[in-house]
Amino acid sequence: MKKGLMVAVMGVAVAAMLVVAPAALASTSNVGKNVGDEIKSWDTALLLSIAGLLAIPVLAKRDVGGGVVLALLVVLVGGFAFAPVAVRTVIESLWRAVSG
């Protein structure tokens, strides 16, 4: 009885893993791309939810300076998350200007 229950639980767990994480079964040669895609999908939700939570006290205090700082941080982090090629180009051009 106990062994049958354990096999059933393991079967349900394996089925859940197959349904929930199809990227885990992808080709091993694309590990970096798969991990990057997964992080990017999580980044969208985390960035907006954390920004929303941080905005609550700023709005409650009516703090304009804190709101501007929060907006700039969201734009900066969002730039790295959503436009990495453009950000890389800007950083490279700034580095060339500084280093001569």
Taking the C-alpha atoms of residue 70 and residue 54, their distance in angstroms, rounded to an integer, is 8
The whole-number pLDDT of residue 23 equals 57
Calculate ∠ Cα 33-39-40, nearest 5°.
85
Tens of pLDDT, residue by residue, the chain (100 residues): 677 777 777 777 776 666 556 655 556 667 777 777 777 777 777 888 888 888 888 888 888 998 899 888 888 888 777 777 887 788 788 888 888 7
Using only C-alpha atoms, the chain has a radius of gyration, in whole angstroms, of 22
User: Contact, 83 vs 56, CB < 8 A?
Assistant: no
The whole-number pLDDT of residue 88 equals 79
- What is the value of pTM for the model shown? 0.49
